[in-house]
Amino acid sequence: MGQSISVFGLGYVGSVSATCLASKGNRVLGVDVNAAKVHAMDSGQSPIVEAGLGEILAQANKACHLHATTSATAAVHQTDISFICVGTPSLRNGKLDLSGVERVCQDIGEALRTKNTFHSVVLRSTVLPGTTDNVVLPVLERASGKKAGSDFAICYNPEFLREGTAMKDFFHPPFTVLGARDISQLEPLRKLYAFANAKVFETSVTTAEMVKYVCNAFHAVKVGFANEVGVLAKQLGVDTEEVTKIFTSDTSLNISPAYLSPGFAFGGSCLPKDLRALVHCAKQNDLRVPLLESILPSNTEHIERVVENILRIGRRKVGVLGLSFKAGTDDLRESPIIGLVRDLWQDGVDVLVHDPDVQPDAMLGSNREYLERQLPQIHQILRPHIAEVLHACHVVVVSQKRPEFTAALQTLNGRATVLDLVRLNEDPASLGVSKYRGMSW
Ligand SMILES: NC(=O)c1ccc[n+]([C@@H]2O[C@H](COP(=O)([O-])OP(=O)(O)OC[C@H]3O[C@@H](n4cnc5c(N)ncnc54)[C@H](O)[C@@H]3O)[C@@H](O)[C@H]2O)c1
């Protein structure tokens, strides 16, 4: 037995959602302020051009599972769930225009005022984190005179379909993301999406809102990246397709979660050097590659952000655990931690450093020269024992994941603030460190 649903906004998202949900046996009522779109859907025609939509829409309409109206009141009164799929376009300055969302919430809220049964309002439009709680909720409560949570539910359910393949994307989504303040109120949505053979994430409203933006930003970065390396390869006479085929076949480091955990800046002897070489090569070939060019400045910005965070804590004795760019190596070339220590030092901060892999007296050749050139004070500030650093400092910055660092921090007993740059533990609360701050979490 299907559910009774109204879908506000019969554009690309709304028309597809309404039709697909109706085709799964739900009773769906489409709502739009545009009478022509309403008339089209109500007479079995698609309001938009989308491959495969017209046929399924016509069938659902013929089976009396799909109708449309311009009346928000009728739609709210006749259904149990209202999806909001109105547009959220950009204003001239890039800010999101929420006037459509506010208007539809006003309409739904006014209709809720005269409805006696429980109703769920589900926002599908793409909105920035906080919008559901700070815009949708107050408008609905004010217009309805009712309380969100007890008199009606508010959920956020982002849409991931792509125009042109929207039907396939709806029936086979990459995942389903359901956000609510109280996840028990997600039950009707769980049932609704039971057809999809996809992982369901039940999470907070703000997480669900943010996931949508992170996905779209990442897709845009992927396209920009592919195009920049593609034109560069072509310019160099390299087979772009072959490069892409080999590059994407690595599902361990390339097409994978690797390198996608928020943490500290990258460094080491390869990434900065190779990026610089690639950007230089593009310039020599008269190619502008703004995305590739922006990566090193973005990395530097992140180091500066960490320095600002440390200075904001306001204590002048800072311990840094880890000097090389990652645990298990004494290669210090382009370690971002060296830049961090130098910046702190220049700002008058008293810094001590501990790294089990870095012993300048035992280092040979260019690595030692590099260290002494970059950090001439290294012999004064390096401590062989972690305990010395922990005892002397008010702030401890952790830049490498090492079990011995975690164990030592657990003995601090609140004596120092820990700034974790690498997320030592999936669940930082279980670290047992009382004054703990994460860099990007
Ligand atoms: N288009 C996509 O591929 C896509 C994919 C995922 C998410 N999204 C997001 O979904 C949302 C909708 O996008 P779209 O492309 O479907 O928008 P759209 O502009 O095609 O359609 C919006 C519809 O809402 C209607 N509308 C506006 N105010 C209304 C009101 N008060 N009551 C009833 N209807 C009203 C408009 O008349 C229009 O038909 C946006 O936030 C968008 O970012 C879009």
- Output the pLDDT for position 331: 87
pLDDT in tens, 223-234: 999 999 999 999
CB of 396 closer than 6 A to ligand 1?
no
- Closest Cα to atom 19 of ligand 1: 87
Output the CA 89–ligand 1 centroid distance in Å.
9
Output the CA 224–ligand 1 centroid distance in Å.
26
pLDDT in tens, 47-88: 999 999 999 999 999 999 999 999 999 999 999 999 999 999
Distance CA 184, CA 149 (A): 10
With beta carbons less than 8 A apart as the criterion, state whether 119 and 87 touch: no
Q: Which residues contact 14 (CB under 8 A, 6 or more apart)?
A: 7, 8, 30, 32, 83, 85, 86, 124
Residue of 20, 64, 105, 270 marked active site: 270
CB of 12 closer than 6 A to ligand 1?
yes
CB of 103 closer than 6 A to ligand 1?
yes
pLDDT in tens, 16-33: 999 999 999 999 999 999
pLDDT in tens, 289-339: 999 999 999 999 999 999 999 999 987 899 999 999 888 888 888 899 999
- Output the pLDDT for position 174: 95
Output the CA 323–ligand 1 centroid distance in Å.
50
- Output the pLDDT for position 368: 87
Q: 395 to each of 116, 359, 417, 419, how far by Cα in Å?
A: 57, 23, 5, 7
With beta carbons less than 8 A apart as the criterion, state whether 12 and 166 touch: yes
Q: Using most ligand atoms within 8 A of CB, pick from 8, 12, 161 the residue to mutate for ligand 1.
A: 12
pLDDT in tens, 226-281: 999 999 999 999 999 999 999 999 999 999 999 999 999 999 889 999 999 999 99
- Output the pLDDT for position 65: 98
pLDDT in tens, 131-166: 999 999 999 999 999 999 999 999 999 999 999 999
Q: Using most ligand atoms within 8 A of CB, pick from 15, 32, 211 the residue to mutate for ligand 1.
A: 32
* Residue whose tokens read 């008293």: 350
CB of 85 closer than 6 A to ligand 1?
yes
Q: 246 is written with which tokens?
A: 């080999």
Q: With bands split at pLDDT 50, 70 and 90, how would you rate the model's confidence at 361?
A: confident
Distance CA 302, CA 307 (A): 9
pTM greater than 0.85: yes
- Output the pLDDT for position 314: 87
CB of 265 closer than 6 A to ligand 1?
no
* Of 3, 45, 43, 49, the residue nearest 22 (C-alpha): 3
CB of 86 closer than 6 A to ligand 1?
yes
Would the pLDDT of 1 be above 80?
A: no
Active site residue 270: yes
- Closest Cα to atom 21 of ligand 1: 11
pLDDT in tens, 371-401: 999 999 999 999 999 999 999 999 999 999 9
- Output the pLDDT for position 364: 81
